[in-house]
Structure 1
Amino acid sequence: MMGMKFEGREEKHRITVMAIFLAGACFLTYYCYVVLGTGRVFTHFFYIPIILASLWWKRKGLGVAVFLAALLIFSSIFFRAEVVAANDYLRAIMFIVIAFVVATLSEQIAKAEESLRESEEKYRNLYESSKDGIAFSDMQGNLLDANQAFLDMLGYTIEEYKKLTYQQLTPKKWHKMEADILKNHTMARGYSDEYKKEYIKKDGTVFPATIRIWLIKDKQGKPIGMWAIIRDIAERKQVEEKIKQYQQILEVSERASWHFSHRILSIREEEKKILSTILHDEVGTLAVALSSSLNAIEEEIKDNNLKAALRTIVKSKTVLRKAIQRLKKTAADLRPPDLDIVGLPVALREYLSNVTKQLDLKINFSMEIDEKKVPNNVAIVLYRIVQEALNNVVKHANARNMKVRLYSLGNKIELIIRDDGKGFDTGIISGGTTIHMGIRGMREMAESVDGRFHIKSAPGKGTDIHVTLPVIEEHKLWV
């Protein structure tokens, strides 16, 4: 609105000035013809309003030239007795020609200026709206200008920014590198490749950025300054760091998965060896015994010694029954009972009861859980851990008392196993002994269902095992 008012005042001023010049031209014509009686008008004064009108109003200003040309011709006719001189016609034509030339040149200049303004405005908008920072400096590193994006990155106003040097915005550790880039790349080629560096903010903190620099040269090709495009990559660096962390986690997970798979294969091979030994010792012995008994029975029957044959058959049945019991026990050790059918409480009580009948070991078992809320895979892990812990107690602890407690705590199941055995040093669990392998196996089983395993022991102080397993989500477990 203020611009329109200013243009209106300027136009009124031009009209007023032009009116004064035209009035002056009329007076000068009257003065020369009537007062002085010279019969000739000094038309050099006429060129001033003609040129001004053409500059101000372009071709619309030709009316002033036509008016002054007409003034010259008609005044010559009215105030001079003789015929109008050819020189007056020539001057009148010159008025119009000069006005036309000036108007045409003025229009071309105005169009060029308008195009320049539009181009400048376009690049200024691009300069200011760019999300990347744009900065200008002289060859000494004095800062000349920057767009708002770069000022926002640094936290300075444009006035504060122009008082600084390029070196003041850069940590010292980058100075030598940038000097090398300026010498070997920017000065040699006129530009640099994109490179990474850091900038110092107004508050003293630094942020990472990428930058690319171009030289500014004068008409003689002499470098007079530099301009640069700067991009804040703090967020990108954070993303890169997160990706790096995820890659490290993935590598650790892959290694853990490999070790876990290797452990599973080792366990399977170990179970195969145990099964092979059992089959060889139990089944092989049974087969030899039965074969021998059958041969004896055959001989006794041939000799009509039926009583002896009957006694041999009874002994063979006893041997066979014991072998079947041992095979059932071995099968139960290798594979837990179907917990979906008998349930975890029944399976554990039966297992612990069988152990106490065979060994001089007192077991206190308590269970405070709703077995319906325990997923089958979690129940299997609990059964296996109790089984392995008891196996360690029997083989290594020489304990007389053992306590097994199973209870719910929110959405988790807690398993506590204590014994009063001889204990051991938990600092050497990484060893390769049977007890250490058993502890690693219990930990791996707990972690396979996102559980936690903790063991506390010391020589002469027994052993405490604490296991926490989730019961909300189903998990997959290879058993």
Structure 2
Amino acid sequence: MPPNEATEKNAHRLKRRYSYVTGSSIALLITAGLLLYFLTGRSASVLVVTLLGALGLAGVTAWSYVASRDALENTATGERRRLAESEERYGRLYETSMDGILHTDMEGTVLECNKAFAEMLGYLPAELKGKTYFDITPGKWRGVDWDVITNQLLVTGHSDKYFKEYVRKDGSLVPVSVRAWLDEDEAGELSGIWARAEDISEQKRYEDFIRETIIRLEQANDRLREMDMLKTEFVAVVSHELRAPLAAIESALAAMKAINAASEDPQQAQLMSVLNRGVVRLSHLVDDLLDITRIESGQLRLEQVEVDPVELATRVVEIYRPRAEEKGVNLSLAFNGGPRSSTCDPRRVEQVLVNLVDNALKFTPGGEVRVSVECAPYRAVYSVTDSGPGIPPELQDRVFEKFFSSPPVVESGTQGTGLGLAICRGIVEAHGGKMWVDSDTGRGATFHFEIPG
């Protein structure tokens, strides 16, 4: 019930109450005066006083009624003013809202809508009035709306935000985000539905763009994976094909050395040395290519046995000791007193240590290279520390990447293939272990790897 109507009814009820009280009081006083008049010997003074009292009460009552009526009228006027202000504010919000606002009856007929809703669908507000829910909603969304009505609106009186589409005047679709509320009449009966709709066309375009971009990226990744597989197969084939001619060259070089063993020609000896280094380098490259191919394809086979980690590290140190002495590098071995037993593929673990010690000697023209072994139950941790130039922080995460090449090394000024550390990490991870580096620029580097078992 509107506030001004309630106020008017209250005033009317109060007016009737005051009229009843006033009439009853005056009648009672007059009756009392007449009784006193007859009982006291018909004293005129008593009758006069009684009548005057009745008139006084009537005056007071009338004044009270007038004052109360004025107060009620002032209250009603204030209520009407506040109601008018509230309706004005609502009207401004309704018309200036950026969101579309729609009001339908319970059958879905449009009762009213604001300008934003009409413009969203390409209509004038007057054109939408009288249209039905079915005129502006595509068939595919009617099941969604029905679920919202039955499971939310009729249960709680309002809905959560949900997404749907409306049909524009030109037949195109506009995606919207909607929230709805039930409307009731004065008797508390359901009379319609209010809905607030936000145009999300721009958001939908972004979502479609992102979705299409993801699809294109996935397709590009599939092509890259396919190319990578082809590259891996190609490298494997080429590496295998290179083994035969390399073996022939190595055999020929061995024969030439035997034939010319007694020769003292320095030029011939130098030529043989160059050829031998080239063959060794090419042989190592082929081995690296085959190893990285096996690692990437998951075909690296390990022959694990129980070994002594310290003995394994000692063997590598002894291999490189002559070269270290030649370079003026102090090559040492350190180990703790833990259990000297580990299960691994000794040939592959030795390959990792050889690579790390070889790199350390390349980067350390003078100074120290230390190989450490920490033995513990069910694991062995190997470390190779050098006193070389160190690795800048920005490169430490990249040194294990395939084909990453460091700056030219101190020993020869040449760069490696960039496969060594990638192969080392692959071998360690194939054992279920991990590999990492600690380094500060100018303070050397320490490469660690842990082999469980």
- Which TM-score band applies after superposition, normalised by the shorter structure? 0.3 to 0.5
Please say which structure displays the higher CA radius of gyration: 1
Higher relative contact order (CA 8 A, sep 6+): 2
State the TM-score, normalized to the length of structure 1. Answer: 0.41
State the TM-score, normalized to the length of structure 2. Answer: 0.43
